[in-house]
């Protein structure tokens, strides 16, 4: 997979690193990135030696969420965000996943990181659940994962306001994640990965299964609710106008 926009590499025994590096599309959910992520997690699932995965981006981008074309396709009723499920890949990965979010996490890209078992943020980077910026209600399980990982009050603020928050601000707001200078994020993630990789693989898998069991069970019901909200909110003319005018700004 070395030529893919998603690179998979065993950086140390038992530690596998996924690097999202679609520089052309700035790590939005392009077809190349989506296919690359699915293949990456299939590769991890097939390897009995991996104990922990680290997922990261490139330069100042972790993941930028849906593409303009993808959002317009949902607006037109040709697609749903559930058609290709990449958002819960970290959750359903058998081994623990560490999100080294060294760069911006935007919309679905931020949510994607929150599905990991560990999250490390960058002080300089911007994190936003900006679905409502475009006038449609959140998807990808955001209405469940943000309150679960960040606490209800901050999550409600982020989801309703669609505002952007630097990692440094989120640190002050008391997010339960490590927040470090960008150039220290990946190193800290690898150090954490080493601590995890010291444990027996079967014990890691067993404990993760136990810890995320409730999330895995409750998430499908939340996704159904988000799809229903999309039927109400996504097909407004104003949404199309906002996507056309505001995307990437």
Q: Which residues are catalytic?
A: 230
Q: 3-state class of 230 per DSSP? A: helix
CA 189 centroid distance within chain: 16
- Which run of H or of E encompasses 20? strand 15-20
Q: What is the rounded CA–CA span in Å between residue 170 and residue 128? A: 11
Strand ordering across the sheet containing 6-12: 6-12, 15-20, 52-56, 97-101, 118-122, 178-180
29 near 68, Cβ under 8 Å?
A: no
CA 2 centroid distance within chain: 22
C-alpha separations of 184 from 91, 120, 170 in Å: 25, 10, 17
* Tokens (6 digits) for 84: 């290709």
Q: What is the rounded CA–CA span in Å between residue 123 and residue 46? A: 35
- Compute φ and ψ for 139, nearest 5 degrees: -130, -165
Strand ordering across the sheet containing 61-63: 61-63, 104-106, 126-128, 164-166
Q: 3-state class of 111 per DSSP? A: helix
């Amino acid at each position: 997979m070395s030529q893919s926009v998603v690179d998979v590499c065993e950086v140390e025994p038992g530690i596998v690193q996924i690097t999202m590096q679609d520089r052309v599309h700035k790590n939005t959910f392009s077809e190349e990135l989506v296919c690359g992520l699915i293949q990456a997690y299939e590769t991890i699932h097939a390897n009995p030696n991996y104990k922990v995965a680290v997922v990261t981006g490139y330069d100042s981008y972790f993941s930028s969420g849906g593409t303009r074309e993808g959002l317009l396709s949902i607006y037109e009723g040709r697609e749903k965000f559930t058609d290709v499920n990449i958002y819960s890949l970290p959750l359903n990965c058998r081994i623990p996943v560490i999100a080294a979010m060294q760069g911006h996490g935007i919309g679905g890209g931020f949510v994607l990181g929150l599905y990991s078992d560990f999250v490390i943020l960058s002080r300089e980077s911007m994190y936003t659940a900006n679905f409502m910026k475009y006038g449609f209600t959140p998807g990808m399980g955001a209405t469940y994962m943000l309150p679960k990982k960040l606490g209800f009050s901050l999550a409600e603020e982020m989801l309703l306001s669609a505002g952007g928050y630097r990692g440094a601000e989120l640190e002050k707001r008391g997010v339960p994640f490590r927040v470090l200078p960008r150039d220290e994020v990946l190193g800290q993630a690898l150090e954490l990965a080493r601590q995890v990789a010291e444990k027996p693989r079967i014990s890691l898998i067993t404990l993760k299964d136990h810890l995320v069991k409730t999330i895995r069970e409750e998430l499908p019901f939340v996704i159904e609710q988000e799809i229903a909200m999309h039927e109400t909110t996504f097909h407004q003319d104003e949404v199309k106008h906002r996507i056309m005018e505001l995307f990437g700004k």
